């Protein structure tokens, strides 16, 4: 089936999309119609549905199957929808076609993630990691949810990709600084954003959960790890305390929502590794958004309090 960016004016289309917005408005004669916004992995498009409104059961945030015609309205493409229904389980819709996703295959990334788990030599930390990722449903969510809504890794598989990158950075840093506890650092990196599994919905629209807003991913993650640690009464007490400290301090400052600041060498390395991967992913996203317009500079980035220089366009 065609994607939104492949639609041509006058074309009759039947496809699956995400229903982002649904609003009932009034025509000039007072009759209702639906003003809609549709999306897939390639972008967004406006849509309208003039008739048969009583047949519509789909709500915003759902995957829907539509049939309609591509038209033009005020210089922009718009889909006039004739029929629309929620997707069914037997439709077997590929979510990667409907929402932005990590470039690398999630199955391949998960295999790399498991190898990093098994690289931990300290028995208590290895047992904890294995127990943490033993639940298939939890792993499925971990490999699906984003690492953020907008700023960094805000796409399908974003949490897995970000966690993998941070762990690889930490593993390499541990080779440069032999005074740090490599197994502790790698374990903390693998677990540092664990709370995001319960902080974001798994799609097709990525939103904060109630727990994500009320508690935040750091608190949720620390709770998850504490619950698992309680299942290991023989777990070394100081090692458990250091691990929890790394999770609680990984955002570096109190202003960045960390309850405590890094106080051990592994904490500083985890914080900077997290900063490197999140910032570089955000810079890539900003460049992809602004460079196609031919801009040498980005728009002002409030979170960084600066403009970013994108440079000259590279010739193909």
**Residues 163-186 pLDDT 10s:** 999 999 999 999 999 999 999 999
* Locus of tokens 């890794």: 153
Q: What is the structure's pLDDT at 80?
A: 95
Domain count for the chain: 2
**Residues 237-284 pLDDT 10s:** 999 999 999 999 999 999 888 999 999 999 999 999 999 999 999 999
Residues 71 and 193 in one domain: no
Residue 312 covered by a domain: no
Residue 28 covered by a domain: yes
For residue 17, give the 3-state DSSP assignment: strand
Residue 128 covered by a domain: yes
Residues 163 and 261 in one domain: yes
Q: pLDDT grade, residue 314 (50/70/90)?
A: low
Q: pLDDT grade, residue 68 (50/70/90)?
A: very high
pLDDT at 236 over 70: yes
pLDDT at 81 over 90: yes
Least-confidence region, from 37-46, 172-181, 212-221: 37-46
Residues 146 and 84 in one domain: no
Where does a domain end: 37, 61, 91?
Answer: 91
Residues 32 and 149 in one domain: no
Residue 82 covered by a domain: yes
* CATH classification at residue 224: 1.10.3210
Residues 115 and 253 in one domain: yes
Residue 260 covered by a domain: yes
Least-confidence region, from 36-50, 262-276, 286-300: 286-300
Where does a domain end: 91, 126, 153?
Answer: 91
Q: pLDDT grade, residue 54 (50/70/90)?
A: confident
Residue 302 covered by a domain: no
Q: What is the structure's pLDDT at 36?
A: 95
CA distances from residue 243 to 10, 14, 267 in whole angstroms, order as listed: 59, 51, 9
Residues 87 and 183 in one domain: no
Q: What is the DSSP letter of 199?
A: T
Average per-residue pLDDT for the chain: 93
Residues 49 and 197 in one domain: no
Query: What is the percent of the chain with per-residue pLDDT over 70, rounded to a whole number?
Result: 98
- In this prediction, residues 282-290 reach a mean pLDDT of 86
Residue 299 covered by a domain: no
pLDDT at 312 over 70: yes
Residues 68 and 204 in one domain: no
Q: pLDDT grade, residue 315 (50/70/90)?
A: low
Residues 24 and 142 in one domain: no
Residues 172 and 54 in one domain: no
* CATH classification at residue 58: 2.40.50.140
Residues 57 and 126 in one domain: no
pLDDT at 187 over 80: yes
Where does a domain end: 91, 117, 137?
Answer: 91
Instruction: For residue 48, give its domain range.
Output: 4-91
pLDDT at 195 over 90: yes
**Residues 6-25 pLDDT 10s:** 888 999 999 999 999 999 99
Q: What is the pTM of this model?
A: 0.88
Q: pLDDT grade, residue 289 (50/70/90)?
A: confident
Residues 280 and 190 in one domain: yes
Residue 184 covered by a domain: yes
């Amino acid at each position: 089936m065609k994607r939104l960016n492949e639609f041509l004016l006058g074309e009759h289309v039947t496809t699956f999309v995400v229903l982002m917005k649904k609003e009932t408005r009034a025509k000039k004669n007072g009759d209702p119609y639906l003003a809609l916004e549709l999306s897939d992995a390639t972008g967004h498009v406006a849509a309208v549905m003039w008739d048969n409104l009583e047949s519509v059961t789909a709500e915003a945030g759902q995957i829907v199957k539509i049939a309609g015609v591509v038209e033009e309205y005020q210089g922009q493409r718009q889909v006039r929808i004739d029929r629309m229904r929620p997707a069914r389980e037997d439709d077997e819709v590929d979510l990667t076609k409907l929402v932005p996703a990590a470039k690398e295959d999630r199955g391949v990334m998960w295999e790399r993630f498991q190898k990093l788990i098994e690289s931990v030599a300290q028995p208590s930390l290895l047992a904890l990691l294995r127990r943490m990722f033993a639940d298939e449903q939890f792993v499925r969510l971990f490999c699906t949810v984003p690492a953020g809504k907008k700023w960094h890794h805000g796409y399908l598989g974003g949490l897995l990709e970000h966690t993998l990158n941070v762990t690889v950075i930490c593993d390499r840093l541990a080779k440069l600084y032999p005074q740090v506890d490599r197994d502790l650092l790698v374990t903390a990196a693998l677990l540092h954003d664990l709370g995001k599994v319960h902080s974001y919905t798994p799609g097709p629209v990525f939103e904060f959960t109630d727990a994500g807003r009320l508690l935040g991913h750091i608190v949720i993650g620390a709770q998850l790890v504490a619950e698992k640690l309680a299942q290991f009464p023989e777990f070394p007490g100081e090692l458990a305390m250091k691990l929890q400290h790394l999770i609680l301090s990984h955002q570096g400052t109190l202003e960045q929502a960390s309850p405590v600041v890094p106080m051990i060498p592994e904490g500083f390395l985890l914080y900077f590794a997290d900063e490197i991967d999140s910032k570089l992913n955000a810079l890539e996203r900003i460049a992809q958004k602004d460079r196609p317009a031919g801009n040498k500079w980005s728009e002002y980035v409030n979170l960084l309090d600066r403009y970013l220089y994108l440079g000259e366009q590279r010739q193909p």
